[in-house]
Copies of this chain bind each other. A is one copy, B any other.
Amino acid sequence: MTKTDIATRVYNHTWKLDPIIRSLIDTDFYKLLMLQMIWKLYPDVRATFSLINRTKTVRLADEIDEQELREQLDHARTLRLSKKEMIWLSGNTFYGKAQIFEPEFISWLSNFQLPEYELSKSDGQYILNFHGNWVETTMWEIPALAIINELRSRAAMKALGLFTLDVLYARAKAKMWSKVERLRLLPGLRISDFGTRRRHSFLWQRWCVDALKEGIGSRFTGTSNVLLAMDSDLEAVGTNAHELPMVAAALAETDEALAAAPYKILRDWNKLYGGNLLIVLPDAFGTAAFLRDAPEWVADWTGFRPDSAPPIEGGEKIIAWWEKMGRDPRQKLLIFSDGLDVDAIVDTYRHFEGRVRMSFGWGTNLTNDFAGCAPKTIEGLKPISIVCKVVDANGRPAVKLSDNPQKATGDPKEVERYLKFFGQEDRVDQKVLV
């Protein structure tokens, strides 16, 4: 009989903050795996993370209100691991393995708070830095990116009326569902959600994840988002990221140490994790250099995640290397995760079908594709290429070369030094959309 639920309405309209980050585990699973390793092996290393907007034409500081940004960052700092989350992290099986997190680590994590941030503006961009111990600053990467991206879409939608919004989401849902229908045609597909960092919004990511779960069933192998994995009973997926070799390289004081850094970090990883978690991310300083200098045991790892070469080209090179090392690629796993859309997924799948095990980590094009959904083009709804990267470790500059020079990060002089050291083989410029 109530036409309007007055209490709910009053609550909605006196909303103080609509939190973007609702939980410390609203982050990528690989951050927790890396965090445990940093906590165990590198507890005293200091590392600065910084926001880097590669889409310079988008002036974030003009689009996003600084006060709102601070409120969201401050809110994220109030979050603590909840009891339920702690129990779930301790009791759940990840990659088929129980107790992947040590009780001491979980206990330390239960007191974890995101460290302070440093925010200012320059030339229409935000300068957002996180200084402190690596074991704290690393945890800002995903929430910082999710906050920036969701605030940007909120700002873009502020002027829209209820019906425009209704139609916007209706079209985005229809669009997403037609992608699901295309993916259904690939019988042996294994695909997971990697879209937390650049998602349109938390609720939209949740909708997309639920749509994949219903739409492609067991071919949807999980989500990198720990909170969604817990809430939707999905596998939490992901292994490691560039920050590991980047910090290891930054800490290297000799040429020998620098050359060994990418492999040293894999040995560290192997001390903590095994099996399906033994995934090599080869492109931090160029995949060609990595394969050229890789010790024999690297070929024993489960798989590779080529993250900046074109997927077919990059995959072929890794398969060729496995064959050269006398391994059977059909027993190996390639994880593709760089700027995938459905076309790229279908093409790559068809190309490698039967020759190698494959998995796709679907990111921005899954959780932030509103192109053509608004009645007229809304620039603020187009995803941008934004990252939050480690920029120094113990005061020494950290660098990523990547297979795509457009994705290189770090001080240009230092990038130059690394390029001389590792070589430039096979590095090819490709347009970075997201």
Contacts and interface: CB of A to CB of B under 8 A. Distances in A.
Interface of A: 2-4, 6-16, 18, 154, 157-158, 160-162, 165-166, 168-170, 201, 203-204, 206-207, 210
Contacts of A210: 3
A165 B9 CA distance: 10
A212 to B, nearest CB: 14
30 contacts: A2-B207, A3-B206, A3-B210, A4-B203, A6-B169, A6-B201, A6-B204, A6-B207, A7-B162, A7-B165, A7-B166, A7-B168, A7-B169, A7-B170, A8-B162, A8-B166, A10-B154, A10-B157, A10-B201, A11-B160, A11-B161, A11-B162, A11-B165, A12-B12, A12-B15, A13-B18, A14-B154, A14-B157, A14-B158, A16-B158
A128 B13 CA distance: 26
A368 to B, nearest CB: 14
A7 B373 CA distance: 13
A213 to B, nearest CB: 11
A206 B201 CA distance: 35
Contacts of A9: 203
Contacts of A4: 203
Nearest to A4: B203
Q: Which secondary structure dominates chain A's binding surface?
A: helix
A314 to B, nearest CB: 36
Nearest to A153: B10
A18 B4 CA distance: 14
A388 to B, nearest CB: 25
A356 to B, nearest CB: 36
Contacts of A166: 7-8
Contacts of A160: 11
A204 B11 CA distance: 14
Closest 4 CB pairs between A and B?
A: A7-B165, A7-B166, A12-B12, A13-B18
A59 to B, nearest CB: 21
A364 B156 CA distance: 42
A32 B170 CA distance: 44
Nearest to A211: B1
A172 to B, nearest CB: 9
Contacts of A2: 207
Contacts of A165: 7-8, 10-11
Contacts of A201: 6, 10
A199 to B, nearest CB: 12
Residue among A12, A154, A210 facing the most chain B CB atoms (10 A cut-off): A12
Contacts of A206: 3
Contacts of A11: 160-162, 165
A4 B157 CA distance: 17
A207 B1 CA distance: 10
A210 B6 CA distance: 14
A11 B168 CA distance: 12
Contacts of A14: 154, 157-158
A203 B207 CA distance: 32
Contacts of A12: 12-13, 15
A201 B158 CA distance: 26
A82 B279 CA distance: 66
A368 B9 CA distance: 18
A54 B210 CA distance: 57
A375 to B, nearest CB: 13
Contacts of A8: 162, 165-166
A15 B165 CA distance: 13
A20 to B, nearest CB: 11
Given A3-B210, A6-B201, A6-B207, 7 more contacts: A6-B204, A7-B166, A7-B170, A10-B165, A13-B15, A13-B18, A14-B154
A246 to B, nearest CB: 36
A6 B154 contact: no
Contact of A6 (B3, B161, B203): B203
